[in-house]
Structure 1
């Protein structure tokens, strides 16, 4: 009889080990200010072989929309699965304001995505710029361990500052430890140096170390690595800029400043850099040069993505690790006479999203379905067999992972005083003043011609869709 007990015990141990071996890890790769400026997303002048390879093995979403056109609130939505209407006036401080509630015993705050995975048995680690501050801390130099941007989320949250000395210094760092100052802030830079001439080289290297350590752990891991480029300034090792020496890059479409009420702005973040008296809104040659530097930054980020994916393969973790790669929002390269983000035009709100699951079928086909950043939280829960919390606002993308032709839904986004919805055909923008923009993407004019005045029924219908997704607070600022 005892031998059957022993056999049963061995089977239980072996079976448990096999079950654990099938637990899926999660790797998030965040790339700051990355619009769909990738070869596999239609920009055939871009050198992005590593991201393109991931796209070929996973599912790319050509119409992924972020839920805010700025780093902080966009990352808030992705990392919490919620729109963050209560923090819409906080901009890049959204997660810090949420943290105040997390630390208040009298306030109930739903867990973030990494916290949810941590509570369900995962080791959670962030490296680089995952939340708004690289490393996820507050304080004058963003390195105060007593001020966490995402309390309870991470077992480790790491920002290798190297010669830049602080996360704040590295965030806008120029080459080889130079920190941006009022007197030292060139908009473009190419240096003869290696990949660690800029902070991303150190972030990626630390990410590789964390993968090595995590695969040896006794729990599945949730690892997020945040790269800073192509965020301003457009500085890169020269070898990446050389890739574009003889490359034709098309000028921006519809570069004129829009008429009427819009979320156009004067590109203040961009214009505050040293441009040697040049304005790309007026100087076409300078505009094209800037586009080449942006492209070079994309290629620099792509190199690090390749190193990260290669490390997964070397450790064997690629066989059971889900990979999500995305840009935190888009970026205007002159469209609508904007250089930057912060608008509610397509260029600010559309960013690449790629999801790779080693068990998925029908890989490589691009999805044209409309999806939004809050959809990733429930999707990852379903892919890892974790319970999906009822507080998430997104819709699981599993049907689209199974069939690239499956339909999507509407996507919404907010600014402090403005709300927008994107459907398959239209974009509606509602301003605090009550003024409305309506654009028809089935026309050549797209987001150049506001047709709201001639289509009041469509405006009313789309406003109802916004309320259906976000509630009446979506228009809390409307007069």
Structure 2
């Protein structure tokens, strides 16, 4: 057809048309080259989250374990990137924190308030992985999910799907793209195997990738890899400064829990279950110690000796689980180095909240107090982040999603309550950056009997209101009392501080849409939204055993 057209056109017109066609072809080629270059420049993202990992267990943060149980591979991320000192969790418990991270919204907005009777995460709502997938990223999820509904926004996923999606350390069952598969081995190692296999074999190399790598460890029941089971047998681990906290002035809050060293069970202490026990009888034996009137310790020990004995067994198992996490993070970092991916990959290392390692005599999390509120957080991105840098601004877990999207150059119309902290990664703190955060924990009384409470945390103060069946306020001056031992709520010298913080607290509640009445808050605590999974006999039995009179 073009040949006949050329015959009818004057020679100059034909030449002009040829030039035009050639020019269009060149522009199309240039545009494709530019698009390819833009894709190549978009950073890869690896978001790593260990469950119940805390700053006290990471040597980059210092602390009493840094020389005994260092974390050299996690520290590599901090040394080559930015270490955050004040990243805070809006609701310090596994599922709600994960929901906040995925949506960039508080629990009252994303609808996922608590673990126990909290139901399933609403998977019809927007989450940041979907945005990555829709914008040309290869996406994957490996490890712990713990939200009940199927992950959205991932090309492939393989997550723990046993024990109410908590998973097992040994020979775990994973949901692999909708099908349950039992794997042999240790969960932390297996999760990394899946991730590296995907990076090496299965991902589309012409796309940037966004991988969510979420370890079960070091979550309870703290089962180490066999090679680390006796690692510190000859070592007496140091005790936190607040190990013997007597909860004076906080008797109805910190002093009324079921998460002290006295509440560690036979299973936690790795005592062998007698032969022949099955069903509820086995569960009752294994979980003995979880209640106030049950103490697990060898005969002949005093109360103080028994407390230290339980702590030593607990902390060694916990830190041994962390050691495997650290080993496996090293495997991921080495893979990136060996395959030329380091410079263009953003590495995020965090947890779903902090955790108590004997601090205040506790294990677990939940409180607005520092050890559970503060999340370990570090970011390595050679193209942007200065090696060895440290940030002390307040950041919350609802800020993660908008930040990751901005790093990838992805714009979205999705509404998020969080703010991108990319300027902080560049060493620049905006003048209007929020240096106060709002906190709200709803679950009661199962597990661990921690009073629902909300509060505000600034860089200098923590103010909290515990409200379910008590009406107690607490104030801590973090500069003078970083261990939060002295409740100053009734100190007349702080009356002005309390008034100002309550005003700020009210402002934040309105800002985030959580300015409801105490009666409405209690209704959320009392509501049974369902189980994260369809309850099987084992799960029902555990709850029945631990909640019966």
Same structural fold, with TM-score higher than 0.5 when normalized by the shorter chain: yes
Q: TM-score range by the shorter chain?
A: 0.7 to 0.9
- Equivalences for 1:190-339 in 2 at 5 Å? 197-213=185-201, 215-241=203-229, 243-244=231-232, 249-255=237-243, 256-258=245-247, 259-262=250-253, 264-267=256-259, 270-271=264-265, 273-275=267-269, 276=271, 277-278=296-297, 282-339=306-363
Structure 2 residue aligned with 1:41:
61
Give the CA deviation at 1:3.
4.8
Structure 1 residue aligned with 2:88:
65
Q: Report if the CA contact (8 A) 1:172-1:232 is conserved.
A: no
Separation of aligned partners in 2, 1:7 and 1:174: 57
Does 1:469 find its partner at 2:469? no
Change (3 A) 1:235 1:404: farther
Structure 2 residue aligned with 1:184:
none
TM-score of the pair, normalised by structure 2 = 0.72
Give the CA deviation at 1:212.
2.0
Does 1:451 find its partner at 2:488? yes
Partner SS for 1:234: coil
Change (3 A) 1:76 1:272: farther
Q: Report if the CA contact (8 A) 2:509-2:515 is conserved.
A: no
Partner SS for 2:394: strand
Change (3 A) 1:215 1:309: farther
Deviations 1:115-161 (A, max 9, x none): 222233323221111x325xxxx4xxxxxxxxx244x33232213x6
TM-score of the pair, normalised by structure 1 = 0.81
1:115 pairs with one of 109, 122, 130 = 130
Separation of aligned partners in 2, 1:339 and 1:280: 17
Change (3 A) 1:301 1:409: same
Separation of aligned partners in 1, 2:240 and 2:312: 9
Deviations 1:321-341 (A, max 9, x none): 211110111111222222212
2:460 pairs with one of 421, 425, 445 = 425
Separation of aligned partners in 2, 1:246 and 1:322: 39
Deviations 1:370-392 (A, max 9, x none): 22111111111221111155622
Does 1:439 find its partner at 2:476? yes
The RMSD of aligned alpha carbons is 3.0
Partner SS for 1:333: coil
Structure 2 residue aligned with 1:191:
none
Give the CA deviation at 1:68.
1.4
Partner SS for 1:412: strand
2:440 pairs with one of 388, 394, 414 = 414
Deviations 1:156-183 (A, max 9, x none): 2213x6xxxx5338845354569xxxxx
Partner SS for 1:127: strand
Give the CA deviation at 1:89.
4.5
Does 1:460 find its partner at 2:460? no
Separation of aligned partners in 2, 1:216 and 1:153: 16
Change (3 A) 1:461 1:474: farther
Separation of aligned partners in 2, 1:213 and 1:95: 36
Aligned residues: 434
Does 1:31 find its partner at 2:71? no
